[in-house]
Amino acid sequence: MDFGPYLFAASLEGAITAAVLALTAVGLSLVFGVMRVVNVAHGEFYMLGAVLAWWITSMIAGHPALGFWVAIVVAPLIVGALAMLCDRFILNKINYDPERTIVATIGLLYVIQQSTLMTFGPEARPVEAPFNERIALPWLEPTNAGLQVIWPTGLSTTSYKLFVIAAAVTILLILWLVMTRTRIGLIMRATQLDQEMAQAHGIDVNKVYALVFGLGAALAALGAVLVVPIQQAYYLMGSDPLLLSFIVVIIGGLGSVLGTVVAAVLIGMTDGIVSVFFTPTLAKILATLLVAFVLIFKPNGLFGKRRE
């Protein structure tokens, strides 16, 4: 394959990473934006989504697509409910103190990860996609007779991969509508702006926090259910999305859903393309250092709204 079509294929893969990343990172950003806490266990909620998807599809007999459609609805609901319980019985009890929350969510990370290891096991397990037709892609090749449409061998995608991108875009649009056009969205934004004032106006802040924490985890789980037919469910799969979500949220600016989505597309696409040129380990080193240096030299990108 020539360089052009090759880059095209790489950016298509990048778009899938970006789509899933956008869902996961928006969940993290929402939690930080409204509750002002960093949820280190966010990647584990993502992993739980994938593991539950495997579990549900293997439970339901019949057409493999049926199991998948059940999983995409049920898995995020279970994960969201679990996260709400964690909020109620852990985070609420320590008053959302930023530093203690990090320590507690680190604990939560290990509890979820190791319990999965004990029950689900150390293997990676596949989930079948509901549909998976191969689609060949065209490429415009400049020749002596002007641009010509060619069909390079190997340049292809699947219908499922396109579905992942479309589904992520739809979910993000719905989330944006909920946040800007509904009463519950208004309540969330009010709590984000001034928690005490919201409480003074009769908003049950504890309920809003539980809801936001559950929603954030459910978004991560949803992203994982979408990606699991492409990747595979594995008990350590949560660490990469956690790191990438951190990067996205820090670069995109917190609390802003739009900024997070833009950063997710940027990071997801570059991640796909950069790993073509660097070894994965070096790419990860550069990514972690990027987060550290953005935080050191542009702390307002992350915590600007918190300080006066």
Partner 1 sequence: MSESVNKAMPSASIKKRQRVNVGIRSVLLHVAVIAVLIALYFVLPEYHSGNLARILVLAIFAMGYNVLFGYTGLLSLGHALFFASGMYGFGLAIQFLDVTASVAIVTGLLSAVAVSTIIGFLALRTTGVAFMIVTLMFAQAGYLTILLFGDYTRGDEGFVIQRADRILFGFDLTQPANRFFCALILFAICLFFVAWLVHSRFGKTLVGIRENEERAEMLGYDIQRHKLIAVIISGTLSGAAGAAYALLFGYAGASFAAVQYSILPLLYVLLGGAGTTIGPLIGTLFMFYLIDYTSEFSSRYLPSDFSSAYMLIAGVALIVLTLYAPQGFAGLLRRKVKWLP
Element housing 34 (H / E): helix 3-35
**39, 28 contact by CB (below 8 A):** yes
Per the CB < 8 A criterion, the answer to whether 225 and 75 are in contact is: yes
> For residue 139, which of 240, 20, 237, 5 has the smallest C-alpha distance?
5
Nearer to partner 1, 15 or 244 (CB): 244
Helix, strand, coil in percent for the chain, rounding step 5: 75, 5, 20
Interface residues for partner 1 in 249-308 (CB under 8 A)?
250, 279, 281-282, 284-285, 288-289, 291-292, 295-297, 299, 302-303
Q: Helix, strand or coil for residue 153?
A: coil
**For partner 1, the closer CB: 95 or 144:** 95
125 forms beta bridges with 233
Distance in Å, CB of 279 to partner 1, minimum: 8
Phi, psi of 29 (to 5 degrees): -65, -40
Report, in Å, the least distance between residue 136 CB and partner 1.
38
| Of residues 120 and 160, the one with the C-beta less far from partner 1 | 120
189 vs 171: CA distance, rounded Å:
19
Q: What is the footprint of partner 1 within residues 64-123 (CB under 8 A)?
A: 90, 93-94, 98-100, 102-104, 106-111, 113-115, 117-118, 121-122
Return the number of the residue (84 or 175) whose C-beta is nearest partner 1: 84
Rounded least distance, CB 41 to partner 1, Å: 10
> Within 137-196, which residues bind partner 1 (CB under 8 A)?
none
What's the rounded Cα separation, in Å, for the pair 68 and 89?
31
User: Under the rule (CB under 8 A), what is the footprint of partner 1?
Assistant: 38, 90, 93-94, 98-100, 102-104, 106-111, 113-115, 117-118, 121-122, 243, 246, 250, 279, 281-282, 284-285, 288-289, 291-292, 295-297, 299, 302-303
